[in-house]
Amino acid sequence: MTGAKAAAPRAAVIGAGSWGTALAIHLARAGVDTILRARRPEAAEMLRRDRENAAYLPGCPFPELLSVTADLTDALAGRSLVLFVAPAQSSREIFRSAAPLLAPGADRVIASKGIEEGSGLRLDEVMAQESPRAAGPCVILSGPSFAEEVGRGQPTAIVAASGDAEAARRVQEQVAHGALRVYRNGDPIGVALGGAFKNVMALATGIAEGIGLGLNTRAALLTRGLAEMTRLGVAAGGRAATFAGLAGIGDLVLTCTGGLSRNRSLGIEIGRGRRLAEILAERRTVAEGVATTRAALALAARHGVDLPIAAQVREVLDGGRAPAEALQDLLARPLKEEV
């Protein structure tokens, strides 16, 4: 006797920025009944009317199976797959509001990248605090993925990571489709910290580019940034091998070199002499690396880990050091073995 066929998933994507919109478009394009939740009713109405997210992801029309709401209860009702894609520093409030509304047994996926400022907690740790009654661990979705390219259906490879192998497998099978390939990973700590810390390094490489430095400098920052990322991740309980994969060096290279990187472009503007507050005031999108830099350094202090590049990035962001001075401080560090 054959087993009953599993019911097709119904998905909710909580967060209608560029990445949330791209994931919602991808799922609907894959034949999944998907609802995208925008925070403001007027934004939801505009998305329903235009059938595209002109503000964050223009040129990527909504498939027929994608609907939109501003009502969190409506978004989560009966949804077996829930992707949380709010900015990292807003995620705690979203997790708390969503917890009593989740369908029993729903797979919870964190697709945001960052560390909570103040607490220094990964987003899966924040979710565990705010959703203590939810069944099973969550899944981290991360890897080298610009929203615009996913929205346009370009080939992309990402990672679904969880301590629960079956949860990771379910999410892998539900999200992987067409040009979006999903790998499983059993190291949610390393995947979450890799996805967060690469934004700090993108700020660093952008700042270096902004002050006129070249590819030698970028290569050095990428390589030593990977060393910092790995030290922090292993100290926090992650696996070193994770940082040699998609969620580590893969995401690091993309974000530090790609023209669509918000954190890299922010770093370039800072390197050219503009003030952080001035740049942020002009931007609609969030550059997660600003808050993550401070949060990562607080986490590193708890584990006794040295992050010299991240420390200099913080000094520059806070206005306490000029970019050229920060570079000189890094070059003046005592000579040591590479490994």
Assess contact for 21 and 58: CB atoms under 8 A.
no
Query: Residue 3 and residue 212: Cα distance in Å, rounded?
Result: 63
Write the Ramachandran bin of 5: left for phi over 0, alpha for psi from -120 to 50, otherwise beta: beta
The residues, ordered by sequence, that sit 6+ positions from 270 with a Cβ below 8 Å of its Cβ are 203, 206, 207, 210, 276, 279, 316, 317, 323
Assess contact for 310 and 297: CB atoms under 8 A.
yes
336 is catalytic: no
Burial of residue 23, with CB atoms counted within 10 A of its CB: 0-12 exposed, 13-18 middle, 19 or more buried: buried
Most distant CA atoms of the chain, gap in Å: 72
Q: From the candidates 5, 113, 198, 336, give the one annotated as an active-site residue.
A: 198
Assess contact for 160 and 175: CB atoms under 8 A.
yes
Backbone Cα Rg of the chain: 20
* Active site amino acids: 198
